[in-house]
Amino acid sequence: MPHSYFDHNATTPLAPEVRETLVACLDQVYGNASSIHQFGQAARKRVEAARRQVAALIHADAAEVVFTSGGTEADNLAVLGAVRGAAGAAKHVVTSAIEHPAVLSACAQLEREGAAVTRVKVGSAGVVNPDDVRAALRPETVLISVMHANNELGTIQPIAEIARIACQAAVRFHVDGVQALGKIRVDVGALGADLYSMSGHKLCAPKGIGALYVRKGTRLAPVLFGGHQERERRPGTENVPGCVAFGAAAELAGRNRAADGERMAALRDRFETAVLGRISGARVNGSRWGRLPNTSNLRIDGVDGEALVIALDLRGFAVSTGAACSSGAIAPSHVLIAIGLGAEGARASLRVSLGRTNTAAEVDALAAALEASVAHLRRVAVHA
């Protein structure tokens, strides 16, 4: 049975244009980008061209883009590097309760190293209140880290307002932009971010490549040790094909983002209207406004989310219960708990995330399959 894919926040398929660029690079550009001979310089030229493409998507200078192995490494480099590199013995970090585990786990590591961390709560809308960030600041605060868009709810955070608070307090500001990049407009200068994390595989590029925007003058302590690559901010032989593919994906996203976003938002709304109208006890988690155009997080009373994911998979539709990094975890989603659902409500939720190739026919079929699956699971529960 052919499957329809609705889990693009977990990862995306390679775009045909990106695949073509990647394969050509794998075949033809095999030099080490740090070598001075012609093979190495050919590789270096391609890496720097890709750096310019990624920088253009976020309206930054190419010299401010550091290639990494993905979003998790970018988050770790930003959080650990900024705090460890800050002056002073006492250090404090402000983040939110709905951050990705890559940020929350890095903050937990800093706590083990003696730093203090404040995790700002959010309301039922799933949006950080800038006033709460301001209230959490201390004289020893060295970093604020708040994501641009939540990976489970799709809610967009008030980054520019938080950046102004950070600037007034002379505190570095990191933004996890992994889910936002390519889906909404990103201008790191207008946003006021000092550090901005990115990942290629959320953007129709392959897995294993990401980047961190580092504003000029931002001090980072190294997290990895080795060579002098990436202006001594990230050692290791560059993943030349990955960088080139990421650059191609960034250029593609820059051309298509607005049109793709408008189309996906219409499909998402079409899907939610069908589900809310046809399935009793269904509702949308978090705010329905100010969110990514492709993301829908639904709660359906009386139905286990994981059972629903399996039932839909058997019917030919791939969705998820939330973050792919947490799949298989016994604990309910920390994001859904943070917006006040409770364990039962969190476990009754699923995430649908659309991509550029999804169609209206697929969306309608998913809504019908969801209605049938919910009815079946509710019948089973009654007779259990």
Per-residue pLDDT tens digits for 301-342: 999 999 999 999 999 999 999 655 555 556 899 999 999 999
- 29 and 150 share a domain? yes
Domain termination site, one of 229, 252, 275: 252
239 and 94 housed in the same domain: yes
Q: What proportion of the chain, given as a percentage, has pLDDT over 70?
A: 97
The last residue of one of the domains, among 252, 282, 305, is 252
Catalytic residue among 25, 107, 204, 325: 325
- Are residues 147 and 190 both part of a single domain? yes
Task: Decide if 167 is catalytic.
Answer: no
Domain of residue 90 covers 16-252
Q: What is the pLDDT of residues 154-198, one digit of tens each?
A: 999 999 999 999 999 999 999 999 999 999 999 999 999 999 999
> What global pTM score does this model have?
0.96
Number of domains in the chain: 2
List the CATH number of the domain containing 278: 3.90.1150.10
Statement: residue 1 has pLDDT above 60? no
168 and 306 in a single domain? The answer is: no
Q: Are residues 195 and 210 in the same domain?
A: yes
pLDDT over threshold 60, residue 375: yes
> How confident is the model at residue 381, as a pLDDT?
77
Up-side HSE of residue 129: CA atoms within 13 Å toward CB?
11
Q: Write down the pLDDT at residue 331.
A: 83
